[in-house]
């Protein structure tokens, strides 16, 4: 009797298993077809544009690519593959003028001024956006967003030839790009004011008509409303991430001004701040406002803020409060909520990244298992992924997989982050190889000198910078960690990663596994722990743009592909560093990583914070390295191996500023001990030249 009654249930289960299996097969086939489609754009010049009018006098008539094991179609896919970045409506970016004139903000000369790489229109980039800027889509709306390539593609100029380097450290000045983008977005809004001049109104009219012509928007009021919304969003981002503005009562700066300039960004500081912004709860905001404002100020702010804090919609809660606060009040709230992103570092170069055991300058991210998905998801959080994080009243599979407790309330980590494409990018990077020194462009390597330099490298450098075969499919890059106190380089980036804390908001009472044990996040918690919890939950929350069964099957497929495609296993860090403990679970992060130096010639300036302009300067004692130099030019110096650093008005890099110090790493100068404690004798001039020549061969 029981078996007879169970038969319909079994038949139903069998039917659903068949349906799910069929759907999984369809997904696999679709993925294979998608992989073919993604390489349709095979422009032989990879879309590279030449810009004749350069602000620093750089000159190149043609652009070439080196052999890095990528075909043109693979480079172009990397430039334009979306990852879920939603900076502003796409049509707005196409139509937006520069604040001071009628030229488009996306004009190639303007883009080149920030050292993003201009492109010509191609199949996958019909509007000719720069490398790493792309049309993305979330919940039916198109946005301009970033891709990995914006920060990890570079160019070197020499005697009229531009050399594009895939995966190279970008020279971009994102700090001023965002500041100027904010000004450009507010410029047409001046035309909506009662006292607007004819010039303001003309700029607004041109913008509205240009957006309408693109077809997504038709109503002028909708255009202005969204422009106000996204202008405020960009402005909030610049206010939150502007170091040096907070002051004590006597006017003394709490945080010294550390400007980034070209080729640097405090990416982790900005990612941390975006997490802190989006985990903020309404209850916590109320407490902070009550502490920061006088009773009269609080009453004035709450007249507009009360509906925001009382409603169910908490998306961009901090951003939406800004319009009811003065600039002084906004800065006070910023200082209470966020940490100053005042430790800019050079953009890491990406070749061999999938083969690393730990990534980032201080090895903060393990690269095993599905770790690459979490790492890349954290990066998208930093570059304007839409984070629709909100509390919910029920538990589901996502909250369980995300490690949320069985007692609510629970948090929905819905977002625009495209996990599927992040997995594809990681797979594509596994075949990228470091660039070889192009002797036909930069001059012949002195092979006799390089031979003399090889044993010097083995003696002075190899203990931290192991050599690998750039093309071996079995290559591994093991992080050789050296504690900051031993290597002697600027400690700010490493220290910030372990000392920054913030309000847990909707993550309060969540447990996070830190390896040495689980941390219960109370009202305030280490931001590194908050980021860990956020990224884990983001990647275990399926794509909201797709049917839930399909989105879950795709997510399982992406996890499986990443896990089995990734041959890096969880392993112990190597080197001379402080081990993590239950008392100090982040102790090992106060260290910097030595990695293989293949392709190092193409990654100037040097040290993690870009404080040394050339490889030659890096071999000198710190006191003999340039105390100040210019950044911005792409003109290459093949003798000292680095970019032109004087003779033009670029960004003045001052090594006296905290975060910018060029101290330490004086192995070749006879000051910094080797990992075994040995201090080797200082190299003489001929030995430095031989070692430099050998480094060109890597």
Residue 665 has φ and ψ, to the nearest 5°, of 50, 50
Share of the chain above pLDDT 70, in %: 91
Say if residues 254 and 246 touch (Cβ distance below 8 Å): yes
Please tell me the pTM assigned to this model.
0.91
Please tell me which residue, 248 or 202, carries the higher pLDDT value: 202
DSSP characters over 628-650: EEEE---BEETTTTEE--SSS-S
Checking if the pLDDT of 256 tops 60, the result is no
- Tell me the C-alpha distance between 57 and 557, whole Å: 50
pLDDT of residue 8: 63
Checking if the pLDDT of 584 tops 80, the result is yes
Checking if the pLDDT of 32 tops 60, the result is no
- Which of 105, 265, 258, 110 lies closest to 172, judged by CA? 265
Say if residues 494 and 560 touch (Cβ distance below 8 Å): no
Checking if the pLDDT of 132 tops 70, the result is yes
| Helix, strand, or coil (residue 512) | strand
Checking if the pLDDT of 56 tops 90, the result is yes
Neighbour-count burial of 196, counting CB atoms closer than 10 A to its CB (0-12 exposed, 13-18 middle, 19+ buried): middle
- Tell me the C-alpha distance between 234 and 315, whole Å: 15
pLDDT of residue 29: 60
- Tell me the C-alpha distance between 679 and 676, whole Å: 9
Identify the band that residue 281 occupies on the pLDDT scale cut at 50, 70 and 90. Answer: confident
pLDDT of residue 35: 54
pLDDT tens per residue across span 545-559: 888 888 888 888 888
Checking if the pLDDT of 612 tops 90, the result is yes
Mean pLDDT over each residue of the chain, to the nearest integer: 90
For tokens 């620093």, name the residue.
56
Say if residues 429 and 153 touch (Cβ distance below 8 Å): no
pLDDT tens per residue across span 89-120: 999 999 999 999 999 999 999 999 999 999 99
pLDDT tens per residue across span 285-339: 888 888 888 999 889 888 888 888 876 665 677 888 888 888 888 888 888 899 9
- Tell me the C-alpha distance between 398 and 297, whole Å: 41
- Tell me the C-alpha distance between 343 and 590, whole Å: 14
Share of the chain above pLDDT 90, in %: 66
The DSSP code for 253 is: B
Q: Prior bond to 284 cis, omega within 30? A: no
Which of left, alpha, beta for 630 (phi over 0: left; psi -120 to 50: alpha)? beta
Among 369-373, 507-511, 561-565, 692-696, where is mean pLDDT lowest? Answer: 561-565
Checking if the pLDDT of 405 tops 80, the result is no
C-alpha pair distances (Å), 393 with each of 411, 490, 622, 626, 661:
8, 46, 58, 58, 49
């Amino acid at each position: 009797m029981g078996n007879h009654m169970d038969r319909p249930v079994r038949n139903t289960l069998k039917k659903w298993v068949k349906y799910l299996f069929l759907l999984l097969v369809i997904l696999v086939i679709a993925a294979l077809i998608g992989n073919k489609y993604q390489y349709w754009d095979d422009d032989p010049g990879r879309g590279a544009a030449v810009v004749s009018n350069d602000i620093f006098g750089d000159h190149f008539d043609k652009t070439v690519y080196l052999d890095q094991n990528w075909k043109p179609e693979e480079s172009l896919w990397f430039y334009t593959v979306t990852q879920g970045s939603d900076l502003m409506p796409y049509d707005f970016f196409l139509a937006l003028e520069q604040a001071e004139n009628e030229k488009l903000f996306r004009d190639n000369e303007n883009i080149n001024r920030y050292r993003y790489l201009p492109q010509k229109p191609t199949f996958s980039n019909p509007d000719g956006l720069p490398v790493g800027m792309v049309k993305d889509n979330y919940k039916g709306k198109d946005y301009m967003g970033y891709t990995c390539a914006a920060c990890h593609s570079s160019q070197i100029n020499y005697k009229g030839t531009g050399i594009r380097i895939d995966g190279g450290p970008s020279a971009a000045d994102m700090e001023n790009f965002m500041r100027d983008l904010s000004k450009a977005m507010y410029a047409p809004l001046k035309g909506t004011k009662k006292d607007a001049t004819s010039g303001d109104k003309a700029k607004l009219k041109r913008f509205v008509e240009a957006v309408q012509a693109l077809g997504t928007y038709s109503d002028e009021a909708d255009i202005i409303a969204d422009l106000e919304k996204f202008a405020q969003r960009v402005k909030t981002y610049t206010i939150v991430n502007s170091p040096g503005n907070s002051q004590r009562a006597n006017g003394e700066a709490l945080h010294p001004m550390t400007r980034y300039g070209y080729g640097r960004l405090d990416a982790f500081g900005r990612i941390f701040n975006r997490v802190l912004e989006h985990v903020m709860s309404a209850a916590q905001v109320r407490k902070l406002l009550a502490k920061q404002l006088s009773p009269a100020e609080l009453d004035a702010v709450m007249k507009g803020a009360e509906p925001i804090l009382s409603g169910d919609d908490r998306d961009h809660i901090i951003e939406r409060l800004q319009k009811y606060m003065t600039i002084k009040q906004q800065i006070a709230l910023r200082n209470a909520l966020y940490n100053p992103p005042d430790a800019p570092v050079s953009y890491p170069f990406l070749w061999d990244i999938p083969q690393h055991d730990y990534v980032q300058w201080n090895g903060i991210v393990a690269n095993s298992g599905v770790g690459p998905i979490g790492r890349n998801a954290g990066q998208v959080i930093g570059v304007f992924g839409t984070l629709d994080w909100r509390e919910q009243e029920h538990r589901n599979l996502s909250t369980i997989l995300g490690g949320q407790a069985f007692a609510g309330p629970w948090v929905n980590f819905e977002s625009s982050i495209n996990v599927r494409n992040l997995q594809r990018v990681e797979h594509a990077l596994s075949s990228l190889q470091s660039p070889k020194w192009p002797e036909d462009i930069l001059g012949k390597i002195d092979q006799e000198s390089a031979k003399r330099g090889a044993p010097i490298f083995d003696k002075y450098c190899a203990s931290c910078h192991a050599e690998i075969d750039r093309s071996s499919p079995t290559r591994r890059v093991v992080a050789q960690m050296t504690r900051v106190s031993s290597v002697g380089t600027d400690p700010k980036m490493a220290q910030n990663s372990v000392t920054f804390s913030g309000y847990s908001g909707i993550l309060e009472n969540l447990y996070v596994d830190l390896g040495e044990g689980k941390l219960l996040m109370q009202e305030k918690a280490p931001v590194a722990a908050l980021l860990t919890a956020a990224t884990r939950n983001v990647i275990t929350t399926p794509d909201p743009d797709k049917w839930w069964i399909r989105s879950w099957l795709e997510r399982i497929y992406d996890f499986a592909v990443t896990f089995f495609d990734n041959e890096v296993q969880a392993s112990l860090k190597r080197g001379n560093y402080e081990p993590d403990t239950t008392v100090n679970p982040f102790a090992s992060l106060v260290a910097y990583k030595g990695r293989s130096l293949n392709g190092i010639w193409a990654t100037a300036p040097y040290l993690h914070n870009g404080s040394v302009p050339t490889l030659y300067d890096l071999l000198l004692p710190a006191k003999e390295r340039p105390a100040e130099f210019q950044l911005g030019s792409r003109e290459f110096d093949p003798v000292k191996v680095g970019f032109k650093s004087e003779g033009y008005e670029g960004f003045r890099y001052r090594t006296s500023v905290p975060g910018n110090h060029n101290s330490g790493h004086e192995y070749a100068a006879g000051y910094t001990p080797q990992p075994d404690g040995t201090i080797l004798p200082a190299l003489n001039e001929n030995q430095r030249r031989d070692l430099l020549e050998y480094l060109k061969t890597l």
